[in-house]
């Protein structure tokens, strides 16, 4: 159920971004479903392959999309369990996405194009630099909640004190920035640029066409919905434990009365409604930032991405302090 709701999000996410960018620039712009109309047209077209490419180039789009779908199956929906959650599942989540990115990069290199190789080099570098921020963040949350499963982490973490608000704000900020980096959006990349010397993701898909290009664009839309689901898991209230945090203690309450167990279908309706509201705000935020935010210079991108790991370390040190693991 949660997986299907996340799939539905992907149908509207790219269109909302385009609508916000159109409104911000004073244009009428395309409809919300126009990106998917374009994808459906591509699904009906055949793919053209260069004679210099091998089977790696042909299987890369399918594996890229498959890894995104498998990673989404590990994510819980607020108030619902994940399909395949287990202790330490965030490690598999990260490396499933890394596997898809790896095949995607190999496919770009397989074309023999110097431009695609340059884009693949940049995308590999940015993903490598963003990876520590993700692991430090989830390591921090695991230390704070005492759980290593994403479902248990999200169920245990609640905004119930100023410390939790600080950590929650840092977590949401980092996930938004990682989503922008992994989907090659502003400020590290511009999906609308046509200058090959500064293109990253777009230059990697220049040789893909038809059905294969549709698979890639579908995977990108699903990745946006996936990161929006991660953010929603922090912000949507769940029917579970409540983490109480203050300067003196951290305690876990599992009493349904304390945790706010209201029961019935109204809680689920509220969770689904808040989830879609968060996704709309997330998509609108991306469109707004891309309308008024300039892309960084290529030489500045690594510095910006490494800064995210430093911010994640701030949250980690804060958790060490409030859990008394740095005292003495």
> Which residue's entry shows tokens 């302090």?
321
Residue 158, pLDDT score: 76
CA distance 156 to 56: 42
Query: Which tokens belong to 264?
Result: 């019935």
247 within domain boundaries: yes
328 within domain boundaries: no
171 within domain boundaries: yes
Asked whether 6 and 225 are in contact (CB, 8 A), the reply is yes
327 within domain boundaries: no
Least confident of 1-10, 69-78, 165-174, 319-328: 319-328
Residue 294, pLDDT score: 78
pTM, two decimals, is 0.86
Q: What's the pLDDT band for 323 if we cut at 50, 70, 90? A: confident
DSSP code at position 148: -
164 within domain boundaries: yes
Please, what's the largest Cα pairwise distance for the chain? 67
Closest to 1 in 3D by CA, of 73, 65, 68: 73
Range of the domain at 269: 2-322
Q: What's the pLDDT band for 255 if we cut at 50, 70, 90? A: very low
How many alpha carbons fall within 13 Å on the CB side of residue 328? Answer: 3
Total domain count, the chain: 1
Q: What is the pLDDT of residues 190-200, one digit of tens each?
A: 777 777 677 78
Higher-scoring residue by pLDDT: 203, 285: 285
- How many other C-beta atoms lie within 10 A of the C-beta of residue 197? 9
* Mean pLDDT along residues 38-56: 90
Angle of CA points 87, 88, 92, to nearest 5°: 125
222 within domain boundaries: yes
Higher-scoring residue by pLDDT: 17, 194: 17
Query: Which tokens belong to 179?
Result: 């989503």
């Amino acid at each position: 159920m949660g997986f299907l709701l996340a799939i539905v999000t992907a149908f509207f996410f790219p269109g909302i971004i385009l609508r916000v960018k159109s409104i911000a620039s004073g244009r009428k712009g395309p409809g919300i479903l126009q990106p998917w109309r374009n994808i459906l047209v591509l699904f009906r077209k055949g793919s053209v392959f260069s004679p210099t490419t091998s089977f790696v180039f042909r299987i890369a789009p399918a594996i890229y999309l498959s890894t995104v779908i498998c990673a989404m199956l590990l994510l819980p929906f607020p108030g619902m369990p994940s399909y395949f959650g287990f202790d330490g599942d965030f490690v598999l989540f990260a490396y499933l996405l890394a596997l898809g990115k790896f095949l995607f990069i190999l496919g770009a290199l397989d074309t023999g194009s110097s431009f695609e190789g340059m884009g693949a080099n940049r995308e590999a570098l940015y993903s490598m630099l963003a990876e520590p921020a993700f692991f430090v963040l989830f390591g921090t949350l695991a230390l704070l909640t005492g759980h290593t499963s994403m479902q248990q982490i999200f169920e245990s973490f609640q905004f119930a004190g100023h410390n939790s608000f600080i950590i929650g704000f840092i977590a949401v900020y980092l996930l938004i920035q990682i989503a922008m980096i992994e989907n090659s959006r502003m400020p590290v990349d511009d999906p609308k640029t046509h200058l090959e010397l500064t293109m990253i993701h777009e230059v990697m898909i220049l040789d893909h066409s038809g059905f294969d290009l549709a698979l890639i664009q579908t995977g990108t839309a699903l990745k946006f919905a996936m990161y929006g689901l991660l953010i929603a898991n922090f912000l949507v209230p769940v029917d579970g434990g409540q983490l109480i945090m203050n300067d003196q203690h951290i305690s876990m309450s599992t009493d349904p009365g304390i945790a706010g167990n209201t029961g019935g279908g109204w809680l689920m309706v509220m969770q689904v409604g808040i989830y879609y509201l968060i996704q709309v705000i997330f998509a609108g935020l991306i469109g707004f930032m891309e309308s008024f935010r300039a892309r960084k210079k290529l030489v500045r991108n690594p510095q910006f991405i490494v800064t995210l790991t430093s911010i994640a370390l701030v949250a980690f040190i804060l958790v060490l302090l409030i859990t008394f693991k740095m005292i003495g």
